[in-house]
Structures are given as structure tokens and as C-alpha cells.
Structure 1
Amino acid sequence: MEPELQQIREQQKDSWNKFSPGWKKWDDLIMDFLKPIGDKMIALINPKENESVLDVASGTGEPGISIAAKIGNGKIIFTDLSSGMLEIAEENAHKAGIPNFDTQACDVSELPFEDNSFDIVSCRLGFMFFPDIQMAAKELVRVLKPGGRLTTSVWCGPEKNFWVTAIGGTINKNMGLTPPPEGAPGMFRCAKPGFLADIFKEAGLKNVSESEVPGTVNCGTAETYWDMMTEIAAPFVAALSNADDAMRAKIKQEVYELVNEKFPDGNVAIPSSAFVIYGEK
């Protein structure tokens, strides 16, 4: 891997480890929010008894834990760049009574598994952040058995994900941040319809499909939304750390106003949208 990409990887590892306590705190709300995406992924791969599964960018454990419940005596390996996130995934798997798993902290671009090792590979909401998307796709296909199934998901564009733009847009408006270079890791890097499906085809997958899946962030209040986003979203936390108290208060007030204007009934339930992509080796 090129030095520049290695640097991005190390920064991401440090960031995910740093923010893992926030993800643990908000896990119930976030997993409820992301469940429709995981359900669609699971429906597409249709896990069966005794199959072997690799779950990449596992985070706090889903949808890997739900997949593990469907493979009986099969085996699943949770992988993530962050050992801190994997500790939470392991704890959640034990809570769910899942015995058939291992965890492995590793980089998706250099998976420590042999060719043709897994019946299924899943990766929920990871591709947007991988330093080299093409390399990651090739690695996932490499470890997939012939005839195996692969599924992933990425966010659709900002116009369909107000839960990101409400705080992100307000920060950018007030602080005049320089946008990241085109193609750099970020929430909407894979948002163009067909983008990741084309990469999967180039990597050798067939019967590739792409579906759009809606979701809802059930925050309840603008305060809950603000607290969650400023405890789990590294880019926003980093930006706000460079703001003085007055600027931070101004941004917070504007975010509250923006959210409450959109949800005047007082129930903050923010719609979202993601693409779920599927292919076979």
C-alpha cells in the first residue's frame, strides 16, 4: 500500500479506537437505525447452516451477529481496523448468545485469510472509508469461495441523508472548511448510483444488483441528535474542536433550529437512504 494510503489507514484506526466508547453508548439507537440495511443484506445472501462468513468493518457487531444466528454450526469472523470496536462486537455477540465467532483486527486491503475461504462476505457501510476501494473489492473477492455471495452497503447522496447534512452543512457554513479532495474517504464517496456495482463487476463478481433501502434515525429530540453526532462522528468532532466556545454555541443553536424546523411536531425521526449491493463469485 502506498505511504499516503497507509497514513489514512492509521488515522482511521486511531479515530475509530478513540470514538468506540461513543459508539457503545449509542449502540441501541444506531443499530435500530441501521437494521433495515442489515436486513436487506441478509435477505440477499440468505445464510445457510454450516456456512463460513467473513464480516468486514464489523463495528459493534451487526449485521454479523444476526448472520451468525442463521448459520448454525457454521463460523463467522468479525474483522475491523479498530480493536476497540471489535471488543464491543465481541461483548454484543456474547450478549446475543452467539458462540460461533472469532474476531480479527486487520486491514481490508491486506486480509490475513487464504484464497477461497468463505461462503459469504458482508460489509455494512465500510467501503466509503476504505483508502483504496478497488484493492478492497479485489481482496473481498479473493477470499470468497467460487459461487460465494458478497454484500455491502453505502450511503446514498446528501440530499437523502439529512441526518448527516444537518450538522455537517452547518459546520461547513460557519467555519468555511475546505472540502476533501474528490475520491477521498468520506460518507458520500460511493453515493453515485452504480458506482460500487461497477467496481464489483470489475473485481470479477457476477449477478450484481443494487437496491436502495430507506431508514429512520429515531432521535426523538434535537438534543439527542446533537449529542449522538458529536460523540460518534469523528469529522464533526474534529471540526468543532477547532471552534471557540462562541462559534460552537452558534453552530449548536443553528443545528437545533434546523432540526426543529424540519420536525415541528417535536418528534425528530430523520429519514435516511443507503444502497445495498450484492454479487456472486
Structure 2
Amino acid sequence: MEAALTQIRDQQQQTWDTFSPGWRKWDAWTMDFLRPMGTKIIEALHIQPTDQVLDIATGTGEPGLSIARLASQGSVVGLDLSVGMLAVAHDNAAQQGLANYAAVAGDACALPFLDQRFDAVSCRMGFMFFPDMLLAAQEMHRVLKPGGRLATCVWAAPAHNPWIATMMASMSPHLALPAPAPLAPGMFRCAQPGMLAGLLETAGFSGVHAEEVQSTVEFDGPEHYWQNMLEIAAPVVAAMSQADEATRAAIKATLFRKLEPLLVAGKLSLPFGSLVLTGEKG
């Protein structure tokens, strides 16, 4: 990879290692939140008991851990840049008694596996952070066996994701939030319809299909939402690092005013939307 892309990869690794304690704390909540996309990925892969599966950007282990239960006579490799996140995945596998799941450190743009090694590849919420998305897709294609299946997902547009957009809108009057550089790694990098599908086709995948998954995520009120955003939402944490105490208080007040009308019996439900894409290696 070019030096600039290597720098992006290293920054991503440092970022997710920094976030790993927060993700461990919020793991059960986060896995419930992301389960609809994980379920769609698993359904699309048609996992067989003897399958060998690669779960890229495995984070704290899902959907790889769920896949490992289905591939009971096969194995799952969960790959991630972040050693801190992989430590959580390893602990989760041990707690669930999944001896056929292995957490491995590695780069999606330079997969440390032989050609045609896997029957299926899953990748939940990873593509938008890869330094070179086409190279990552080509690597996934390379390590799949002929007829092998890929299922991945990314966030849909901000308008479909009030769960994070509400916080970002509350910060913008109080902080200078620069517009992201075109195609720079970030949550909504792959949100444009057709963008990731075209990239997968360019990498050699056939039968590429995209589907939007919409649901809601629940918080135990505004304070629960605030703490969640400050501890695991990467763009929020990055932006709030600029804020002094007075600015943080002003942002919190703005946020709570936005959330107040949305409360039902003290609970807060916010919509989210993602794009799930599937394809095959011919």
C-alpha cells in the first residue's frame, strides 16, 4: 500500500484500540443494536456445518461468533486491526465455549491467507474504514473458494440514521466540524446507493445485491444516550475532544432539548438504516 494509505491504516488501528475498553463495556448493548445486520449477513451466507469462514472487521466477535455456532464442524477466523478489540472477541469466544473461533490480527487490504482458503466471508461495518476499499474487496475475492459467498454491510445515509445524526446536529452549532474529505474513511463513506455494489463488481464478485435494513435502537433515556455517544461513537469522540467543559455543557443542553419530545415512558427509540450487500465468487 502507498504510504498515505498505510498511515490511515495505522490511525484506524490506534483509534479502535483506544475505543476497545468502551466497546467492552457496551458490548452486550452494541451487539443487540447491530444484530439485525448480522442476521441478514448470516442468512445470506447460507452457512454449512463444515464451512471455513472469515469474519473481517470482527471487532468484539460478531457476527463471527454466531457463524461459528452454525459452522460447528468447520471454523471461523475473526480478523481485525485492533488487538484491543480482538481481546474482547477472544474472551467472548471462550465464555461461549466456541473452540472453532480464532481471533487474528490482520489488515483487510493484505489478508494473511492463501488463495481460495474460505467458503464464506462476512464483514459487518468494516468497508467504510478500509484505507483502500477496492483492494480489500479484491483480497476478499482472492481468499474465497470458487462459488464462495460474501456478505457485508455499511451505514446508509445520515438522514436514515437519527441515532447518530441527532448527536452530530447537536454538536454542530457549538463546534467547528470540518466536512470529511471525499472518500475519507468514516461512517457514511459507503452510503451513496450503488457505490459499494459497483466496487464489489469491479473486484470480481457476481450477483451483487443490495438491501436496506431499517430498525430502531433503544436507550434508557437521554443520559444513557449521551454516555453511549461519548464512549463508543468514533465521530462524536473525535469532535468532542475539541470541547471544553462549557462547550460540552452547551452541547448536552442542546441535545437534551432535541431528545425531550422523543421520550416515551422515559425511553428513547431512534431509527437507524444500513445497506447489506451480498455477492459470489464465480
Q: TM-score, normalised by structure 2?
A: 0.97
Q: What are the residue-to-residue correspondences of 1:56-67 with 2, within 5 Å?
A: 56-67=56-67
Report if the CA contact (8 A) 1:29-1:218 is conserved: no
Cα distance in structure 2, aligned partners of 1:216 and 1:66: 22
Instruction: Tell me the equivalent position of 1:266.
Output: 266
Task: Please give the secondary structure, in 1, of the residue aligned with 2:70.
Answer: coil
* Aligned CA distance change for structure 1 residues 266 and 226 (closer, same or farther; 3 Å): same
Asked whether 1:166 is paired with 2:148, we answer: no
Asked whether 1:51 is paired with 2:27, we answer: no
Report if the CA contact (8 A) 1:120-1:144 is conserved: yes
Report if the CA contact (8 A) 1:209-1:278 is conserved: yes
Cα distance in structure 1, aligned partners of 2:115 and 2:271: 39
CA deviation string 1:91-122 (max 9, x = no partner): 11112221102121111101110111100000
Alignment-mate amino acid for residue 135 of structure 2:
M
Report if the CA contact (8 A) 1:56-1:123 is conserved: yes
Report if the CA contact (8 A) 1:134-1:199 is conserved: yes
Instruction: Tell me the equivalent position of 2:194.
Output: 194
Q: Structure 2: give runs of 5+ residues left out of the alignment.
A: none
Report if the CA contact (8 A) 1:29-1:219 is conserved: no
- Decide which moves more: 79-88 or 265-274: 265-274
Deviation for aligned residue 1:169:
2.1
> What's the RMSD between the two structures over aligned residues?
1.1
Task: Please give the secondary structure, in 1, of the residue aligned with 2:211.
Answer: strand
Instruction: Tell me the equivalent position of 1:9.
Output: 9
Asked whether 1:240 is paired with 2:240, we answer: yes
Deviation for aligned residue 1:264:
5.2
Alignment-mate amino acid for residue 41 of structure 1:
I
Instruction: Tell me the equivalent position of 1:134.
Output: 134
Cα distance in structure 2, aligned partners of 1:115 and 1:172: 46
Deviation for aligned residue 1:265:
4.6
Instruction: Tell me the equivalent position of 1:211.
Output: 211
Cα distance in structure 2, aligned partners of 1:135 and 1:198: 13
Task: Please give the secondary structure, in 2, of the residue aligned with 1:190.
Answer: coil
Alignment-mate amino acid for residue 275 of structure 2:
F
Task: Please give the secondary structure, in 1, of the residue aligned with 2:149.
Answer: strand
Cα distance in structure 1, aligned partners of 2:19 and 2:170: 22
Task: Please give the secondary structure, in 1, of the residue aligned with 2:236.
Answer: helix
Cα distance in structure 2, aligned partners of 1:234 and 1:37: 19
Task: Please give the secondary structure, in 2, of the residue aligned with 1:108.
Answer: coil
Report if the CA contact (8 A) 1:63-1:124 is conserved: yes
Cα distance in structure 2, aligned partners of 1:175 and 1:228: 19
Alignment-mate amino acid for residue 155 of structure 2:
W
Instruction: Tell me the equivalent position of 1:150.
Output: 150
Report if the CA contact (8 A) 2:152-2:277 is conserved: yes
Report if the CA contact (8 A) 1:155-1:187 is conserved: yes
Aligned residues: 281
Report if the CA contact (8 A) 1:34-1:215 is conserved: no
- Decide which moves more: 182-191 or 233-242: 233-242
Deviation for aligned residue 1:184:
0.6
Deviation for aligned residue 1:259:
1.8
Cα distance in structure 1, aligned partners of 2:161 and 2:17: 25
Where in structure 1 do 4 or more consecutive aligned residues deviate above 4 Å?
Answer: none
Instruction: Tell me the equivalent position of 1:105.
Output: 105
Q: TM-score, normalised by structure 1?
A: 0.97
Q: Structure 1: give runs of 5+ residues left out of the alignment.
A: none
Cα distance in structure 1, aligned partners of 2:138 and 2:169: 34
Cα distance in structure 1, aligned partners of 2:235 and 2:276: 24
Task: Please give the secondary structure, in 1, of the residue aligned with 2:4.
Answer: helix
Instruction: Tell me the equivalent position of 2:85.
Output: 85
Alignment-mate amino acid for residue 248 of structure 1:
R
Alignment-mate amino acid for residue 172 of structure 1:
S
Alignment-mate amino acid for residue 259 of structure 2:
V
The percent of aligned pairs where both chains have the same amino acid is 48
